[in-house]
Amino acid sequence: MSVKEKTEFQPKIVAFCCNWCSYAGADLAGTNRTNYPANVKIIRVPCSCRVNPIFILRAFQRGADGVIICGCHPGDCHYITGNYYTRRRMTLLFSMLDFLGIEKDRTRVEWVSASEGGRFAEVMTEFTNDVKAIGPNRKLEDLRCKAK
């Protein structure tokens, strides 16, 4: 790690990945030895529609700087329709966060299939850079959970 990387802001990124596509995509990125930022912490979920809006807000409250949800491409959901619901829910949730004045670049939904290891790495790199650019999350942070 270079000196520059050490001193610059390192965001905490939570990535919710669906078991069938995106998690396998991340796996493929790994087997292909494709690098993506170590800031990203993956949480595996059975389907992207398992992601409750509370999970996202909770991640922010507990100190995440960015949250990304990855699922199968629309039409390819392992459970046929799950990601269609995700799409509607997240559109509304993100719009609401924007309405409350939270930065738009902290949240994102991406469709990544099991064969798109390279794309997974690309998406994560891009997202991490976006979050780096807007700096640490202060607006949705929970002070209770902060150690002194």
Partner 1 sequence: MQSEIIKRTVELFNSEEIVRAIGWRKGDFDYDLNPSIFKSSEDLEKNFVYNDFSSANLSKFLIKISQKEDGKTLVFLKSCDTYSFNSLLQEHRISRDKIYIIGVPCEENLDPSKIKAALGEDVLSMSCDGETVTVETLDGTKTISKSEVILDRCLACKSRKHVVYDELFGEEGEVLDSKRFDQVEILENMKPEERYSFWRTELSRCIGCNACRDICPACTCEKCVFDNRDSGVENKVATNDFEENMFHIIRAFHVAGRCTDCGECSRVCPEDIPLHLLNRKFIKDINEFYGNYQAGDDIETLAPLTRFDAVDVEPSIVKTRENVK
Partner 2 sequence: MLTLNASQLDEFFALIEKKRELYLPVENKTGKSEYKRWVEGDKYSTALRTVKSAKNFFFAKSENLYDLKMDHKNVEVIDTREDIKEFVIFGVRGCDVKSFDILDNVYLQDPVDTYYKNRRDHGLVISMACSKPATTCFCALFDIDATSPNGDIQAWNVEDKFYFNPLTEKGDAFVEEFKECFTDEDSKPVEKQKEETLNIIERLPFVNLNMEGFGVEDKLKAIFDRPEWEDLSSTCIGCGTCTYVCPTCQCFDIKDFNVGDGSIKRFRCWDSCMYSDFTQMAAANPRLTQTARFRQRFMHKLVYYPIKNEGIYGCVGCGRCLVSCPVQMNIVKVIKAMGDN
What is the contact surface with partner 1 in residues (CB under 8 A)? Answer: 53-54, 57-58, 61, 74-75, 81, 84-85, 87-105, 107-109, 139-140, 142-144
Task: Identify which of residues 138 and 148 has a Cβ nearer to partner 2 in the complex.
Answer: 148
Task: Print the binding letters for residues 24-63 with partner 2: x by CB under 8 A, - otherwise.
Answer: --------------------------------------x-
Contact (Cβ atoms closer than 8 angstroms) between residue 75 and residue 29 = no
Q: Collect all residues with Cβ–Cβ distance below 8 Å to 60 and sequence separation of at least 6.
A: 67, 106, 137, 140, 141
Q: Collect all residues with Cβ–Cβ distance below 8 Å to 139 and sequence separation of at least 6.
A: 101, 102, 103
Is position 100 an interface residue for partner 2 (rule: CB under 8 A)?
no
DSSP H or E segment with residue 98: helix 82-99
Task: Identify which of residues 32 and 75 has a Cβ nearer to partner 1 in the complex.
Answer: 75
Task: Identify which of residues 6 and 148 has a Cβ nearer to partner 2 in the complex.
Answer: 148
Provide the β-strand partners of residue 43: 16
User: What is the full DSSP assignment across 51-65?
Assistant: --HHHHHHHHHTT-S
Provide the minimum distance between the beta carbon of 103 and partner 1 in the complex, in angstroms, as a whole number: 7
Task: Identify which of residues 46 and 75 has a Cβ nearer to partner 1 in the complex.
Answer: 75
One residue of 1, 3, 80, 147 binding partner 2 per CB under 8 A: 147
